[in-house]
Structure 1
């Protein structure tokens, strides 16, 4: 019926009707049983070695009692287990931090790997669309390792060949709910490898009281709060410009006053000056004596900004050909211009002439002020481009609670929300969400979650009284 070609098998050709296309049925090669057994044993041994290498403590906790019970009986095994427990239990009770660092988090990582991630991995990858079926085979991203910290699980994953980070960033909600977490963040560790962060609890749920006044004189980075990993949040204000965007009640005042509080020693010694623009008359007016220059009305704000530009240009002429970086001194102090609601002076200003003066002065300061020791710290409610046209002139941006998901990328840059900066999901309850924000550090494009300390009215009054006493002395 068919002409036999070299290498073809006529029995491998199947057809039923003349209209049916010829189907080539591949020949079945039977694998010898010994090869199947060798492959199975090799995989078991490789898995055991890999488990011992990655989880030595968890493996020892399970293997040693089992081996002793098998060899010497349960009485000896009970004694062997009791001896280390009698040492580890007091360690865990009286020095929990070091116990968790050496043993606790490793045991938890082993448990989370076995019970949560390895158990549900294939199903979550398939349903979320990250697994692929090609050539009759299922391809699933490889789960490399799981590490636990005090607040999150850090899951290392090898992507499938041909996948992109965006494929995972678009599915962070699928991953979070699939593994029982409230959120998920995606970051790149190296080519083809990702780090997925699944929070187990919220370390920023409790408001942070005002930080004590620093003892050392410094213009930054200044400590104004804590990061989600428990480390201090230090904000760079000298040599940059900062824009804090957030809805009403999001905690912009916490950031402004925490920065002011951290710079008080530098203001006392004269190596820093605070210039305040307070068009709402409801925020910076509480600490008016702390500011070297203060303005509230639009006309006064325009005059203050023009004065800042004039001083900045004079200093630039002084530094020209002499130095490129600013070092704060009493003669040439660091000047931080703080604007409470910048949109009121730019987008919502009815006087067109004042609006142009203010916009031009802010643009000049943000483009030329960093090198000569002039910085701008501005607060904003609406981050749209038509509200603040010079938004991109602020190198450092802070995204507090925002009303819309699109605003996150407006503040932190394209793709920030896909990487886990869910600023639109921050709680509107002040006790839970005020001061909570997402920022991008210079060392990494991945956003981190932070919370600024809350500076109350009483803290501001005490700070003003102490400042006035120091000035009088």
Structure 2
């Protein structure tokens, strides 16, 4: 398969004289200088064109100043440079966002491409085991381009033929340390191309205030926080089921209350009903007046409430059969959201076996049949092991907050999620830094997204109760 290189045939030579080494001198072919020059130019010209195309500002300005210096002297060159600098500063002061989009981030991308990635590309990939040396020839993945935004570098890479995404996902720690970044995440752009994300800073380091209650009634997606790239975090609850997993004190309540806060106008309009199961009696009890009779804390009451929801779901299924396949919230048939705080207490730690089976069967029925008729489940738990939550795969959308073990990340988000950069076990245990921070993996996308839910304080909850008490009745 590989062409034999000069020197390979020495392996088959055997000396008949003892203590005599076999010396082999391969034939030397002298290439004419003109051919070497043409080959060198054929490689240089495309690279220059590609450099100008991808970094026009970083190339044009120095070249322009250099040409003016050579033809008219350094005085005029300094004037041109000062004019360009003045225009840039004026643009920056008048419209910072557009300046950064068209100039700032592109100059930063060129600087980091030249000084960080291009400079260390070969040694880092060689040590990480992503480059190959076969039969005297080096094979190196190609650095396609570098893009920068406010918080991270996005490096597009063309993989070697025969490499898999897992080869890169298994070496994210090597890549992060090699290029001086706190972490690295791998995403597939298209066949044969990857996008490596190297954060430069953490935009989710500070807690977020509660998102204002929406003015319009809607069943979602509801805004509950912020994504790492600065876009709002909107959680879809209608037409899906959501599982939130995280150790104690990680901010699961922020996701629960943030969702309720976003649905309050729809609850007032009669388009949404929230059924709350609060076996700990600590989290959802703050807003108990919002739920009316649809609140349960005792395990027996929780089981009865779940059976009532199942009856509602089955009655709708009988009416919708043959007429419609998707649910549209109305006052007659509102969207029903079942919120279960610490679901493991009901499904795994419940001492009454019959009650535990009843609750598990009801949850399994809701998560397998409820989406089409407008019944959704939002559940939170601490321990994601299968023996604790054996129906976790029935939740299409999953959120992993801080977890105790690296293996638990894949338990929650699916196989390979941690290799793709979902380092939920590395989230800070300090509440100021890590509460509400997690990774979201949606049914429609295999790539986890780092997010932070806004903190809904006790004062915010009391204000919600005062303004919307009884709207769910």
Q: Which interval holds the TM-score relative to the shorter structure?
A: over 0.9
CA distance in 2, matches of 1:445, 1:391: 16
On the 8 A contact 1:12/1:25 being kept in 2, the answer is no
Calculate the TM-score normalised by the size of structure 2. 0.94
Q: 1:45 to 1:458 in 2, by over 3 A?
A: same
Deviations 1:246-304 (A, max 9, x none): 00011100000000000000000001001100000110000001114000000110110
SS of the residue aligned with 1:310?
helix
CA distance in 2, matches of 1:66, 1:455: 57
> Is residue 2:450 matched to residue 1:449?
yes
CA distance in 2, matches of 1:156, 1:469: 53
SS of the residue aligned with 1:108?
helix
SS of the residue aligned with 1:160?
coil
On the 8 A contact 1:254/1:453 being kept in 2, the answer is yes
Deviations 1:288-321 (A, max 9, x none): 0111400000011011001101111111111111
Superposition deviation, residue 48 in structure 1: 1.5
Deviations 1:301-350 (A, max 9, x none): 01100110111111111111111111000000001000011000010000
CA distance in 2, matches of 1:332, 1:122: 61
CA distance in 2, matches of 1:287, 1:343: 22
On the 8 A contact 2:398/2:442 being kept in 1, the answer is no
On the 8 A contact 1:275/1:335 being kept in 2, the answer is yes
Calculate the TM-score normalised by the size of structure 1. 0.94
CA distance in 2, matches of 1:376, 1:202: 31
Deviations 1:357-389 (A, max 9, x none): 111111111111111011100001000000011
SS of the residue aligned with 1:273?
strand
> Is residue 2:201 matched to residue 1:208?
no
On the 8 A contact 1:243/1:394 being kept in 2, the answer is yes
> Is residue 2:389 matched to residue 1:388?
yes
CA distance in 2, matches of 1:469, 1:328: 19
Partner of 2:16: 17
Alignment length (residue pairs) = 463
CA RMSD of aligned residues (A): 2.0
On the 8 A contact 1:305/1:358 being kept in 2, the answer is yes
SS of the residue aligned with 1:124?
helix
On the 8 A contact 1:13/1:22 being kept in 2, the answer is no
> Is residue 2:172 matched to residue 1:172?
yes
| Farther off after superposition, 43-52 or 100-109 | 43-52
CA distance in 2, matches of 1:345, 1:12: 70
Superposition deviation, residue 64 in structure 1: 1.1
CA distance in 2, matches of 1:165, 1:194: 8
> Is residue 2:351 matched to residue 1:350?
yes
On the 8 A contact 2:338/2:375 being kept in 1, the answer is yes
Partner of 1:429: 430
Q: 1:305 to 1:82 in 2, by over 3 A?
A: same
Partner of 2:289: 289
Partner of 1:3: none
Structure 1 unaligned blocks of 5 or more: 1-9
SS of the residue aligned with 2:59?
helix
CA distance in 1, matches of 2:25, 2:79: 63
